[in-house]
Structure 1
Amino acid sequence: MNIENILGELFTLLMMAFALGMDAFSVGMGMGLIKLRLRQIFYIGLTIGAFHIGMPLMGILIGRVLSDTFGTIATVIGGVLLVLLGLQMILSSFKKEEGPALSPVGFGLIVFALSVSLDSFSVGLSLGIYGARTLLTILIFGVVSMVLTWMGLLIGNRVQGWLGMYSEVLGGSILLAFGLKLILPF
């Protein structure tokens, strides 16, 4: 392979990673509207990055064996998870309790990370069929999504102070809308 082909593949992977990471950025902005500490933001970004390494890796490995039938299923599952998270955030904002019932820690963080990384599984399926360089692909996907998640969470965290009690409704609405976008092709 010559240098032009390598640079072309690198550019293509960076653009794909950016596109996949924008999911995490957008959802991170919504989730950042919940009051989060910098330490939580750091761990959320690491977790999202790890999922954006693991999911496309599984997709690449399976994609080398199977067809891309699972791509649509993964996208719909991710959309359903985001809709459920969004609805939960909206409903919990109307309760008198402090904080959402499902926050981005523990199991909630796993659900959050899974919901934004399922689309990278379907991309991994396609790349596995295509025969992309596995290590390069997953490292680029992981790092880009981690950085974009941090950016989204930090921006959401700043805006949260301005919006006060309405920030959780807005955050839930963002997650809900993004989930519906994944489920419904419009």
Structure 2
Amino acid sequence: MSVYALWAIAFGLSMDAFAVSICKGLACSSFQWRNALKTGVYFGAFQAGMPLLGFLLGVQFSETIKEVDHWLSFGLLSLIGVNMLKEALSKKDEPCAGTDFSAKSLFALGLATSIDALAVGVSFAFLSVDIWSAVAIIGLITMAMCIVGVKSGHLLGAKLKSKAELLGGLILIGIAISILIEHHAFG
């Protein structure tokens, strides 16, 4: 997998955390860099850790399902992407995460927004991915996006949330399609 694809996946995965970070910023009456950095570190750590865990789990089964690994990667990434699109396009407004920047709150939100990264990590086990580079890129991009998200939410308001989820879903679906095309064209 190319470094460009990894960057695209990292941006796609970071969009859920970015959207929650925007909500955090929306709920704040005053912006504090400490809270933005704390949010970025928690979310970045979860977004980096979950693909590693998924990769380790996927490696255990990679030989068993080698013949269909590209379909599994395509399915997982497409499912995550479509789910993100559905959330972005749904009419209901979900409540924002609020002003709670406690470790407990950020832990729960970090875990909740990184479940899709676990599935991506499983798909990495079936592809040519340097997992250490991948988790570093995913973690750092997510951290940066979340810091920007808290600040943006504070400055710009609710309009960014659904657009971030929409973009993330489209990116993941695009990567899923490219995996399938690459496998059939070169595999």
Both proteins in one fold, TM over 0.5 = yes
Flag the structure with more relative contact order, 1 or 2, with Cα contacts below 8 A and sequence separation at least 6.
2
Is it true that 1:13 corresponds to 2:6 in the alignment?
Answer: yes
Gaps of 5+ in 2: 66-71, 85-92, 170-187
Give unmatched runs, 5+ long, in structure 1: 1-7, 80-85, 91-99, 161-169
- Could you tell me which residue of structure 2 aligns to residue 95 of structure 1? none
- Give the whole-Å Cα distance in 2 for the aligned partners of 1:48 and 1:125: 19
Q: CA RMSD in A?
A: 3.7
Question: In percent, how many aligned pairs have the same letter?
Answer: 25
Decide whether the 8 Å contact of 1:64 with 1:131 is kept in 2: no
Q: Counterparts of 1:33-112 in structure 2 under 5 Å?
A: 33-35=26-28, 36-66=31-61, 89=96, 100=98, 103-112=100-109
| Conserved 8 A contact 2:16-2:113 | yes
Task: Indicate which of 120, 124, 127 corresponds to 2:121.
Answer: 124
CA shift, 1:131, in A, is 4.1
- Cα 1:89–1:29 shift into 2, 3 Å: closer
Distance 1:140 1:20 in 2: 11
Given residue 11 of structure 1, which amino acid in structure 2 is its aligned partner? Answer: Y
> Could you say which residue in structure 2 is the equivalent of 1:156?
153
What is the CA–CA distance in structure 1 between the aligned matches of 2:114 and 2:107, rounded to whole Å? 10
Q: Distance in 2 between matches of 1:107 and 1:16?
A: 27
* CA distance, structure 2, for counterparts of residue 30 and residue 60 of structure 1: 30
The answer for the alignment partner of 2:144 in structure 1 is 147
Tell me by how many angstroms 1:119 deviates. 1.1
Contact 2:21–2:39 at 8 Å: present in 1 too? no
* Cα deviation, residue 88, structure 1: 6.0
> Between Structure 1 and Structure 2, how many residues are aligned?
148
SS of equivalent to 1:104: coil
Give TM-score scaled by structure 1 length.
0.64
Q: What is the deviation of 1:89? A: 4.7
| 1:50 Cα deviation after fit | 0.8
Q: Which moved more, 1:44-53 or 1:21-30?
A: 21-30
Is 1:25 aligned to 2:22, yes or no?
Answer: no
Cα distance in 1 for residues equivalent to 2:95 and 2:108: 12
